[in-house]
Structure formats: C-alpha cells, structure tokens
Structure 1
Amino acid sequence: MATDTSFSRRLARREFRSSKDARLSVGSSVMKIISSTSVESLLTAEEDFLEYLSFLSTVALNALLRAGAVDPGNVKLLQHFNESFHGLWELISASYKTLKQSHEQNLALDTDELYLLQQAPGFVHIFKEYFESVTDFMVVKGFDRAAKQASSYWKSNKKVLRQMIKDTSDGPVHVLLQRVFIDPFRNHVQHYTLFLSNLTEDSEAEPLSDVLNTFVELQRHISQILDEASQTKILWSQISNKLTLALCHPERRLQEDSRNVPVAVANGRYERVLLFNDMLVFLQGHESKSFDLKTVWVDSTVKQKSEPNNYLLRIITPEDEVVLCAKEPQCQGLWLWKINQLIRQVLNGSRDYPLWGKAGEVTNPPTCRFSTYTFRNEGRFKEATYEGDMSWGKPHGKGTLKWADGRNHVGDFKFGQEDGFGICLIPNSSQDRYDCYKCHWRSGSMEGYGICEYADESVYKGYFKDNMRHGFGILECGAPDTNPFKYTGNWDRDKRSGYGVWESKNKGERYIGMWLNNNRHGPAIILTDSGACYQGIFNSNKMVGTGILLSEDSTMYEGEFTEDRLMAGKGKLTFSNGFTLVGTFNRNASLGLHTQGVLNTTSAHEDETTKRKFQLGAELFPVEERWNGIFEPFLKFLESGCQGETEEFFLGFHVKSSKKLQKSQEYLYCERDKDEVSGKIEDIIKEISVFQKQEDLQLYLEKAFKSSHHPFKKLLKILLLVYQATYSGVGANLHLLSMAQEEIKYYGKKLLEFCRALLATAGERNGHRNCILDEDEEMSDTWAYTLILPLILPRFHPDLFMLYMLYHEQEDGFYWQGIIRLGHLTDTKLLEFLDVQKQLWPLKDVKLTTNQRYSIVRHKCFHSATECLQKIITTVDPKEKLEIILKTYSEIERTVSRVVDKDYKLPMDDLLPLLIYVVSRAGIQHLGAEINFIRDLMDPSNRGGIYDFLLTALESCYEHIQKEEIRHYTC
C-alpha cells in the first residue's frame, strides 16, 4: 500500500531525528536566549507530530466518525472528541509556524517569544481536554463498538495502526485503535517536558521553572486519568448489564473499590462499595443505592462498643446513614481521605490538578455547603426538592423547598427544619391562587410574627404558634364579593379567643369584647353606625341576660334582650328628657314594641346627664388584660436578655433573609437619616448603656419613636392600629371615653416598663447598674406621664380628642354660645360686666385717635395674655398646655402690675374676672374637652400645686361662661 509505505518512511525519519535531537545540547548559556539548534529540534518534533495528526485524521478519526454516526450513544462523545482533536491540531500548527519562521530567518528566539511558553496555559488546557474526551469515549467502550462496526476496514489497516505506535505484537484492533489516539500524544507532551527541562538547566529564570512544573504535572494528570478510565472500563465489564446501564456515564470514574481496599457495610446491608468521582454507590446483587457526593458527609468519630477492633466511618446523607467498617486503620484512613477529597472536588466543580493533590495534603470539604436534593422518603419533605445550604445532611442556612404540587418555601433552615424567617407559598385549588405565608418559623412550624396573604384576598398580620394563628393578630378581608370585615385581637390555636374587635363594613357594626372558639362569648359592646350602643353578655354569638342599650338621642334601656339584641322582657327605659318607663316589653309582628309598666315624668337633671354620658366597658375589660398579646412577645424578648437572633421572632425583623431582603436591610440599617437611631438590638443596648441623665434618655426615645425600624416605633405602630380599630370611625363614641383614656395611660406605663428592662439589660452587659429610672412605683407613674406620654400622644391625639369633644359636646355648645354673646361687648363693657375693678383696666395701653373713645375699643385689653392662651391648641402635651396656662396667668399679672405701677399678686376675686375676660377674647373652641384632656392626662404629681390651681380656675371660667345669664345676655 502506497499510504503504508509513505507513512513508514515518515516514521523512520522521525526516529532518526529524535535520536539526533536527544544528543543535542541547548548550546547557549545565555539565560533568555534559545539557540537555533534547540529551535530546530522543537520545530522537527512539531512537524513530525503534525504529520502524524494529519495521517491519524485520515486513517482513524474519520473512520471513527463514520462508524459513530450509526450509534446514537456515541454522537456527542465523538463530536467532543473531534473538536478537541482539531483544537489541539490548530494549536500545534500555530506553534510550528512561529518556529519555522524563526528558523528560516536563522534567528535565535528569546524565551518570551517562544510560542510554547507564551501559550503554556493553552497547551495544558487543550491536552487536558483532549485526553478527557478520549477517556470519556474509552470508558463507554466507544473504541470497542467502532472496531466491530467497521471490522473489515480496521482489519485491512491493522498493520498501519501497529506501525503508528511501533507495536510489533498482534493485539486486538480496538486496543490498537485506542492506543493510536493516546500514546503519541503522551510522547509529545513528554517531548515538551524534556525540551523545557533542557532550557531550565541553562537558565534559572522562575517563569521557565513554573512552565516546566506545569507540564510535569500535566504528565501526571494524563497518567492518572488514563488509569482511572482503564479501571472504570474494567468495572463495567465485571458487573451486570443492569447495573452498568444504571451507573455508566462517560465522565464517571471509579476511584475506589471495597474489593481493592477492604471495607464492609455494617449489618450486611450491602456487599460492595464503589466510590466514583461524583457519587458513592452501594451494591447488593443486581441492585444499587447511589448518593451524590455533594450531599454526602463522612464522620470518622463514631465508635462501636461491641467490636472495638473495627474502624468505622459513618456516611451521612439527607435521608440515609450507612456505617462502613474497616479492619485496618489504613483502610479507614484511605476511604476517609478519598471520599473527603472527592467531595471537595465536586463542590469546587473541578478535579484537582494533579487529581489527589500533593503528598500528605488533606483538605476536608466544608461541612456547610450549597446542595440540591430531592427527598424520596415519607415525611413532610417527600417529593420536595431542596436547594440551598446543607450541613451534615440537613438543610441548614438559606434554602428553597419546592414540591411538585406547587408548594414552595424560601427562607432559613436549622438542623433540617424551617427555622427563622421564611416565605411559604401553598396553592389554593378553589381560588386558583396561592396562600402566601411570610413569617418566622421555629422547628418546622410557624411561630412568631408573620404576615399571611390568603387566596381569598384576606390578610393576617400577627403571631403564630405551631402553624396556627396564636396571640395577637389582625385579620382583614376586603374582597368585594364577600362580607368585608376586620378582626383585631387575640387568637388561640387558629380561633378568635380572648379580647378582640370585629368590624363588619357591610353591617356598619363594631363588636368590642370577648371571644371563644371564633364565637362572640362573654361581655361585649356593640356599636352601630346609627349611633346605637349595646353592652351585654354573649354566648355563642347570641346576646343573653340583661344589658344596656344607648341610642343616639341619649335614650337608655336597661333590661332583658332577645338573642338578636331586641328589647324584650323586664327593663327600664330612660328618655332623653329624663322620663323613665319601668315595665315589661314585648314585641308583636303587627303592633311592634309595646309595654306595660309605670311611667315617671319627674326627672333630675343630674341623673339625665349621668345617663347620657354613661361609660361602657371600663369595668368589663380591665385595661391590663386587653392587649397582652401585643406586650407579651416583647416582654419575653426582654426577659431573654435581648438576644439578637430572636429579634425577628417578636417584631418580624428580617435581618438574615434572602439577598434581595438583605439588600433592603442595607437601607434599614446603613442608610438611615443622621437623626435616626439604629433598630438593631445590639446597637440599642450599646447606645443606651452610656446614658446618665433623664435628658439623654428623653432625646433617645424621641428619635426611637420616629425611627421606622426601632422596636419602640414598631410597637407603637401596632398600638395605634388597635387603638384606631377600637375608637375611630364607628368607635368614635362618647360612651367609650373612659376606656380610651385609661388605655393611653396604660400604653405609657408599659413602654416605660420596657425602657426600664432595656436599661437593666444594658447595665448587666456592661457590668454596672443604670439608675436613671431606678425609682419607686410612685415615681414610675410620674415618668410615664413626663417621659413617655408626651412622645406618644401626638399619634393618638386625633382619635382620643374626638371622644373628648363628643363627651363634652353639650357643655362646649353652651360655652360657645356664651363666647359669642360676650364677643359682642366692647372691652370696657365686658370688663364692667365681669365686675373687674376699674383700677385694673389697662386702658392706658390702648392707643386711640382723637375721634375714638375707650367705650368702642374691642379686643385690645390683655392682648398678650389672650394670644398666649390661644396657643393651648397648638400642642397635645398636657404639661405644655399647663405651662401655657401658667404663662397666661403671668401675662395677666404682668399687665395689671404695669397698670397699678407696682408688683401686684392677684387674689382669686380679681383673678377669675380677668381670666374670664381673657378666655372670652381667646375664643378657644372645645375648651371643655381641652380642660378635661389636660386633667385626665397630666402628671399626678401636679395635683394640688400651682398647675392644678390654675387649671381649676380656668375650669371655673369655662363653667361661668356656660351660665344661662351669659348665654342670653343682651347689651
């Protein structure tokens, strides 16, 4: 054959050149210069190898591609094989061209100009990729099948194949075919190594040494992957076809076999253990159990008391544990080392280079790692795929669970269970939407604060326990096709139980009271948008026994009701004019309500007023028991020592959640305004630990109540929600004033309690006691009024003051009539009407024109005091309001002192007329509401002092202006 003869001649020429080159020296001792002789040696090697590649492509590669075209299993492998072959060919061609150009010009090359050195990483990469493609094809017996499919062709070229690798033996065709794609390539890498070694001997340049070491390691790498491929191919020939079909994969390599390094499975569950580069496999007959190495952990600390001479390894996976027993410590150590090294390599996404690292080098894989696993065993996670952080076979850290039915959970895991913040989506088939749970989890169950958006468009914001709504929570349903409602209150095991407020928007009705198992049960108040108020006892949603009904016109019924809140039975009806009707009330479908009883037409005005302002609920619902579900989580957090990891449990802080949420936290904690304090509990403890004065704490609390991410602000926000749910809208009813007012005071007391606990915690952590709030119980009440209430009242004032205005509406109406009447009088007429002594009239302060008389002056006298008193409506702080009243008194006294031209202390007989004058000129609407607001919420320590005295004086003026003789006074 012509082809055969030509190739033989080329082979002979290459042998001669190789022997000649082996005797050549580098020829120069200059560090960076490569002699022309060395260049010629490398050029010859590249030329011969290119000839070999060309011949190999013609004789063998094209034949392989043709044979593989009819074998679907080999198509992709051959494609990769062909691409890496030609990639190598192109790289060698580029190297040859640069060498030939230099040789033709008879130039010595600088090492920096040598293509082999310039592209050393490329050479290593392409040779590595080539040998990986060859071994992948070899492992799946690709050469064997190709030899059978074109047996006649290979038989006719068998001699050529032997000549290509210089093999005189008469081996099988598939072995020769495999070798022609391996041996010359290994030899060429060896030639590169020898060439670089010669260069390095004449030069101590570090880059040359590094490249040489790289090629030495490449040789080791090639030897290792060829050995692995050979052992893996042998394995597939030894085991059954069933197992081969299940386990064989082109890139899978056998790393260890329990038949070579003895190790047994405890309890005899499996008879053979195989370790591959990507999985651990246990064989039993024709069955296998495999584990992805990404989800395998190895524990060598396990002990076996019954057989102390056994050396054990515990293999841990997400759903299985297997114990390996070795008789020798060397066997145990080898399996432990290899498994851990392979786990580390598969986690890194690449094999070591060289595969097993340096001698004695041990790098254990991380115990916490990112993994993907689909659960198969029975349990909550069955058929769910987990993707995220795992530790010792359990989800631990951030992760995502996805079920085939559409459920998924994203969030924090701890020791295999949902623990921390998480978002869970559960498909709702009836709504064709999802229920979305965003809340805190503990030990696999929702526990702590959460927000749930249900498929029916209802939303729950509150606390959970054991996957059920438990504690305080708000459930609101605003879907237009249902009965919109809002429930704000306590829950017990997913049912409304305890104190709560229910508002039905369609009915225009609000229920304030006790619940049991989702039913209205116990004392309660019902408010309607018609103005009617009910107070009574409920049992399973029905009103029972006696109760009270207050109508909008102040008619009051006390007696028995039907289950549907209709008057029926014995009772007393008090009309708005004070008449009373005592008797038995009955209802008839045709006649309506009728009664038999005694009508009393004599009425006492005081009784009438008392009935009209009758206060509901204050005795039925002790303020200490209304909103425990809000305060308890915060108290438990404080009692636990304010551990940062429990922060999100009670207030929904999502500090350690997904990357997207973490990014939002950067705004919360890193980009806040300069006046905004941190919301992190550790920062809070650190900041307050240095406080020594009340002013420091007061300034800090002022900022804390404004900082949107501080626990106090979050708590205050929830308190405002429940307050508005109870007392705004339909709840803006004068009969609830006592409840509303005592609730505000209780908020101040509880917030002060939390301040005290935080200061105590800060002191414990810093080893000293902070005594800013270290006073007795009486002083504690004072701090609540002076420190807390002024800061929180602005949020609650609109709703609370509305109740005060409704409560004092009648008195304020009479008062305003008096103000209007007195406003018609000139200053002199008014001062005269009020019997103010003329020597106290500040008329000399009034500037008149020549045509004006004192008798026509209006609103000029005591002008500074009037302006001062008008400022009482510009603040909601009772203390500041009292200071305004005190300043008003001072302005009156200062004006009088100037008039009499000496210091003058006003006696009560002089003060009241002058104060009435100032009040009438100030024209403050709802003054009765203001006075009572101040009295109810001012610091109790001020009672009996100057503030109390002046407030009483102002109240006397208010009552005086209401008098009929003033309201009907005519000039």
Structure 2
Amino acid sequence: MTSYRYSNGDVYDGHFKEGQRHGHGLYHYGGPSPKSTSIYIGEWAEDKRHGYGVLEDIMKGEKYMGMWNEDMKHGKSIVVTLDGMYFEGNYDRDSLMGFGLMLTYDNSCYEGEFNGITQLQGKGKLIMPTGDSIEGIFSGSWNEGLKINGMFKKSDGQQETKKAKLKVQIPSSHYGKMSVPADKKWEGMFVQCRTVLGVKGQAKPDCNKAWEGVAVMVSKGRQVLHEMKSRNMSSKWKKFQGSFVEEIEKIPPHNKGTLTTEYYNDIKRYLDRAFEITFHPLGKLMDGLASQPCCSRSKFLCKRIYLTVRILFPDLPQNGGPLQIRSEKYVDIDSDDETDGVIALQSTKSEKQVVSAGGLLHPILLPKIYPPLFDLYALHNDKMDEKYWERVQKLNKQGDVALMAYLGVDQKFWLLDESFFSKGSSSLSNIRDHCYVIAIERLQQISTAFSPKEKLQVIRDSFTEITETVQTTLGEEHIWCMDELFPIFQYVVVRSKIRHLGAEVHFIDDLMERYLENGELGIMFTTLYACYYQIQNEKIPTH
C-alpha cells in the first residue's frame, strides 16, 4: 500500500499495479484537508474507478454508494443528499436510469421510473406522508415541478397504524432491494488479503503457502519497526505493534485435523493479536474494513472474514458451525460423529465448548465498529424507543410497591421485611429502588457489551440475580413458572431505564446466531423482547 500526492494536490492512499491505481484505495480530490472537494473510497482497475466504491461529493452535498465501471457510476447504487433525499436504483453511465426509489426529507416516497437524480420520467407511484398516493405517469423535476397524469387514492386511515408497527417506516417493498449486495462490497480488500495468503481467484487455498505469506509480511513489518527505531521515531503505536509482532512471529499449530478446546483457545489467542497488527494480513484487512462505511452489513462481513480465517486454520467448522468440541483429554481421535453445522452431544461429563463463526469473530470485529453500528440501530428504532421511553419515565414515578402491584408481581416476591408493612401504607409508598437492585444493575450493563452473545449473557446474569435474591430471602429453592417470573423481570426492565432498549433488542436479534434461539439464552431474550413490547402497549397508571 502506497501514498502518492499528485501535482494538482490530489492524494491517493492505496494499491498500485504497474504504476496505475489498482485494487482498493482512498482518493482525496484536493488533498486530505478541509479544502477537499470530494473523497472516493473503493476499488480501482487500471487507474479508473471500477467495482464497488463510495464517492462523497462535498461540493454537491451528495454521497454515492454503489458500483463503478470504467470511471463512471454504473450499476446498483444508493445516493444520499445533504438535504435529506435518499435514492436507490441503477445507474447507467453516470445517470440514475430506469426503475428506482426516492425517499424525501418530509417522508414522501416515490417508486417508479427515473431519468436522472430527482428527474421523474415514466410510470410511478408517489406515496405522501399522510398515506395518500398518486399512481400514473410522471414527468419533470421533483425540485422544480412535476406533471402528473394518474389516479389519486385517499388513505383509508389505517396507514399510520400499520406504519407504526414497522421498525422502518418506509412504505415501499423495494427499499433495500436495489442496493449493492453485501458480498459485492469491498471485494478488493478481501482479494488483496487472499492474494497475500497465496490464494488467487477461485483456486483452492493451500494452508502451508498461506502461512508462508504471513511470515513474509510479518518479517517486513519487523524491518519497518527496526527502521523506525534506528531513526528514533518514538510512538505508542510503534511500541504496541512491536510487542504484537513478537507474539505472532511464531506460527501456531494450524492443521491438526481435530479441533479441541485447547487448540481452539490457542487459535483465539493468536487471532486476538493478529487482527490488531497491521503487519499481519488479517490485521491489515481489519484495519481497512473498520475504517469503511460497511458496518451496517456486519453479519455478512463476519462471514467473509471467517472464510479468510479458515485459510489459515482449516480445522475450524467449514460452514461456521455451531460445532461442540471437548478437551483433548476426552476426544476420541478416531470418532467421526461430529457433523459440521450440528451440535454433537457427547456422553462424557467433560466440559464442552461450542465453536461458531460469530463466537470467534464477534468479540474481535464488533468493538471496532460498534459506535457507528449501534447508531444505525438507534435511528432504526427511534420512533418505538421514544414511545417506550415515555412510558418508562411515567412508570418510574411509582414507588416499588405500587409498581410491582401494577405489574402483577406476586406479593411474596416483593421481598419486603414485615417491618415495612407494620409502618402503614405511607411507609410502603415511600419505598423506592429497594427491590432487586443487583438484578437491575446487571441488566443496565447490556449497553456496555459489544457482541450479541455478551448482551445475552448480561440478560442471563440479571435472571440469575433475580433467582438468587428470591431464594436467599425466602430461604428455599424456587422453581419458576413464567407467570411468576415475567412480572418480576418486567419490573427489573422498567427500573433499569435502558434508553435505547429497542435498539439493543434489534441488535441482538439481528446478529445472534440461530443455534442460540432455542436454548436458555434464547428464551431469556424472548422474555426481554416481550417486556419491551408490553411496556409500549399496556395502559399505564394515571395516578
């Protein structure tokens, strides 16, 4: 990767081939400063923008995210403008043409034929914020005036009700279907990484050859660090990279044939370091991806990174698991009863571990992209979270006893000393933040977890604290039924006052691995979602 400044002030940071921009690169028109007129991040071929790329035109106040061909916008794309306009469709030689979608700042929606940005030309349907619509032939500019020959349809009054139930309030079934598929984005970075690992095109990966590529790149990285040291270039970055280079110079076991817990933990430790250092192919890949606007497709990103990791560690489950493994002390080397994609249950009482693509990579990938990623979920669920938050604030005006009584918590689970009852109703009404305090504190930690599994474990910790608190207070073991447990957990959710709970729930639901759905964690997550829904829709006390 090279940085090059052109005579006109433009700067290119990226890959070259035979003196031409080729592969993935970042181009600053006007230089990397506030004076830049536009920035392009994406793929190049023979000095031309070619493949997937993002062009942020600062002068026009417009961002194009889509395909390029021979230096022209060409293919599936999304365009977002500074004044709140959203376009989705197909470009043909730098112009939006044919069927597409337009969303406006006032929540109007047009789906139909285009002859350029904001230029409506042909059959289409315009849906207004009220739900009323016009369907027919459109001609003209959205900004300057439209000529319409069509039929006006009055909303039946149920549009707003229907929309309110949707997570994304966009009245078009075409939304998201004309953009570039996730597996076509940032292909250049993955191709570059695979090339370093000795894999070209669709060739079958060679594990040993891949590790040779790693060794060469790490060795070059060490040379760079030595040069920095000889020039007395002191920096935290240099020391950080230097310590990690020493740890990853030794090639770990990588092709044993059988995956055990010890072997898997060694792989995890190695990957934790490899993804942090830019002198490693995986670290370079992660550094590039984390700086790109690709976080909204993190599920697909994780899958593609996992396929790259398997080039180095082919013993990992072929399709991302889940696969249940055991300690090498208990593994029968001749056994072949573990099938990829299925959790194989063993009769031994040895400690087991479930291996999956998400379990391996989420703790590495998601912390790097979490802030912008969660912002997307927060925006996505803004309307529902506003409704939920308004009700949570009203419910929290109640004291503990009044709130638990309203939520239907059985009185024996109020866990109050008899002394409270002897002091009269005025004393009971003053009790606040006394019940299930630790369970509430545990659930509040959901906002500090970065991966779906970590968030699920926070939910489980909260349930565990509820059980321990009840059993300690009652002095006996208690087997829950949902009629007893649900109101208590709903009390904990209300008192936790998690501002963007809808975004948290959506994040978990989107990214959690499906094998977790039917287990304990899945049931607990469903209970949290039910609480969120109940808080939004149940009548609240007015006194």
Q: For residue 497 of structure 2, what is the amino acid of its counterpart?
A: G
Q: Contact 1:823 / 1:921 at 8 angstroms: preserved in 2?
A: yes
- Counterpart check, 1:788 vs 2:361: yes
Q: For residue 632 of structure 1, what is the amino acid of its counterpart?
A: V
Secondary structure of 1:924's match? Answer: coil
Measured in 1, the distance between the counterparts of 2:34 and 2:265 equals 54
Q: For residue 778 of structure 1, what is the amino acid of its counterpart?
A: G
Report what 1:551 is aligned to. 104
- Counterpart check, 1:600 vs 2:154: yes
State the Cα distance separating 1:779 from its structure 2 match.
6.9
Secondary structure of 1:523's match? Answer: strand
Measured in 2, the distance between the counterparts of 1:469 and 1:619 equals 28
Cα 1:824–1:547 shift into 2, 3 Å: same
Q: Contact 1:675 / 1:703 at 8 angstroms: preserved in 2?
A: no
Q: Deviations over 1:736-775 (max 9, x none)?
A: x5xx243443354245334425999xxxxxxxxxx9xx98
Choose the corresponding residue for 1:635, options 194, 202, 216: 194
Report what 2:137 is aligned to. 584
Measured in 1, the distance between the counterparts of 2:495 and 2:190 equals 46
Q: Contact 1:473 / 1:491 at 8 angstroms: preserved in 2?
A: yes
Alignment of structure 1 residues 263-278 onto 2, 5 Å: none
State the Cα distance separating 1:720 from its structure 2 match.
0.9
State the Cα distance separating 1:921 from its structure 2 match.
0.3
Report what 2:347 is aligned to. none
TM-score of the superposed pair, with normalisation by structure 2: 0.80
Choose the corresponding residue for 1:753, options 310, 316, 320: 310
- Counterpart check, 1:801 vs 2:370: no
Q: Contact 2:123 / 2:137 at 8 angstroms: preserved in 1?
A: yes
State the Cα distance separating 1:840 from its structure 2 match.
1.9
Secondary structure of 2:401's match? Answer: helix
Measured in 1, the distance between the counterparts of 2:313 and 2:177 equals 28
Cα 1:817–1:786 shift into 2, 3 Å: same
State the Cα distance separating 1:564 from its structure 2 match.
3.4
Measured in 1, the distance between the counterparts of 2:39 and 2:263 equals 44
Q: Deviations over 1:440-476 (max 9, x none)?
A: xxxxxxxxx3222222222222222222111221112
Report what 1:721 is aligned to. 291
Measured in 1, the distance between the counterparts of 2:483 and 2:408 equals 10
Q: Contact 1:720 / 1:795 at 8 angstroms: preserved in 2?
A: yes
Cα 1:611–1:701 shift into 2, 3 Å: closer
Q: Deviations over 1:43-94 (max 9, x none)?
A: xxxxxxxxxxxxxxxxxxxxxxxxxxxxxxxxxxxxxxxxxxxxxxxxxxxx
State the Cα distance separating 1:814 from its structure 2 match.
0.6
Alignment of structure 1 residues 654-803 onto 2, 5 Å: 660=227, 663=230, 672=239, 676-678=243-245, 683-685=249-251, 692-723=262-293, 737=296, 740-756=297-313, 778=341, 782-803=355-376
Q: Contact 1:501 / 1:512 at 8 angstroms: preserved in 2?
A: yes
Alignment of structure 1 residues 296-307 onto 2, 5 Å: none
- Counterpart check, 1:497 vs 2:50: yes
- Counterpart check, 1:451 vs 2:3: yes
Of stretches 934-943 and 688-697 in structure 1, the one that deviates more from structure 2 is 688-697
- Counterpart check, 1:533 vs 2:86: yes
State the Cα distance separating 1:808 from its structure 2 match.
0.5
Q: Contact 1:836 / 1:910 at 8 angstroms: preserved in 2?
A: yes
Report what 1:318 is aligned to. none
Q: Contact 1:677 / 1:710 at 8 angstroms: preserved in 2?
A: no
Q: For residue 562 of structure 1, what is the amino acid of its counterpart?
A: N
Cα 1:782–1:846 shift into 2, 3 Å: farther
Measured in 2, the distance between the counterparts of 1:624 and 1:826 equals 52
Report what 2:37 is aligned to. 484
Alignment of structure 1 residues 308-707 onto 2, 5 Å: 449-479=1-31, 484-587=37-140, 592-596=145-149, 597-602=151-156, 603-604=158-159, 605-606=161-162, 609=166, 612-613=169-170, 616-617=175-176, 620-639=179-198, 641-642=209-210, 653=220, 660=227, 663=230, 672=239, 676-678=243-245, 683-685=249-251, 692-707=262-277
State the Cα distance separating 1:716 from its structure 2 match.
0.8
Q: For residue 503 of structure 1, what is the amino acid of its counterpart?
A: E
Structure with higher Rg: it is 1
**Percent identity of equivalent pairs:** 29
Secondary structure of 2:90's match? Answer: strand
State the Cα distance separating 1:914 from its structure 2 match.
1.1
Q: For residue 341 of structure 2, what is the amino acid of its counterpart?
A: E
State the Cα distance separating 1:666 from its structure 2 match.
10
State the Cα distance separating 1:607 from its structure 2 match.
5.3
Q: Deviations over 1:383-431 (max 9, x none)?
A: xxxxxxxxxxxxxxxxxxxxxxxxxxxxxxxxxxxxxxxxxxxxxxxxx
Secondary structure of 1:530's match? Answer: coil
- Counterpart check, 1:896 vs 2:470: yes
Measured in 2, the distance between the counterparts of 1:721 and 1:588 equals 36
Q: Contact 1:524 / 1:538 at 8 angstroms: preserved in 2?
A: yes
Q: For residue 606 of structure 1, what is the amino acid of its counterpart?
A: K
Secondary structure of 2:371's match? Answer: helix
State the Cα distance separating 1:794 from its structure 2 match.
0.5
Cα 1:722–1:653 shift into 2, 3 Å: farther
Q: Contact 1:578 / 1:607 at 8 angstroms: preserved in 2?
A: no
Measured in 2, the distance between the counterparts of 1:643 and 1:866 equals 48
Alignment of structure 1 residues 237-256 onto 2, 5 Å: none
Q: Contact 1:782 / 1:941 at 8 angstroms: preserved in 2?
A: no
Q: Contact 1:463 / 1:472 at 8 angstroms: preserved in 2?
A: yes
Q: For residue 183 of structure 2, what is the amino acid of its counterpart?
A: E
Q: Deviations over 1:244-264 (max 9, x none)?
A: xxxxxxxxxxxxxxxxxxxxx
Q: For residue 809 of structure 1, what is the amino acid of its counterpart?
A: D
Cα 1:646–1:946 shift into 2, 3 Å: closer
Report what 1:944 is aligned to. 518
Q: For residue 371 of structure 2, what is the amino acid of its counterpart?
A: P
Q: For residue 465 of structure 1, what is the amino acid of its counterpart?
A: K
TM-score of the superposed pair, with normalisation by structure 1: 0.46
The answer to which structure has the higher helix fraction is: 1
Measured in 2, the distance between the counterparts of 1:887 and 1:536 equals 46
Q: For residue 273 of structure 2, what is the amino acid of its counterpart?
A: K
- Counterpart check, 1:925 vs 2:499: yes
Q: For residue 542 of structure 2, what is the amino acid of its counterpart?
A: T
Q: Deviations over 1:313-359 (max 9, x none)?
A: xxxxxxxxxxxxxxxxxxxxxxxxxxxxxxxxxxxxxxxxxxxxxxx
Q: For residue 529 of structure 2, what is the amino acid of its counterpart?
A: E
State the Cα distance separating 1:789 from its structure 2 match.
1.1
Cα 1:577–1:509 shift into 2, 3 Å: same
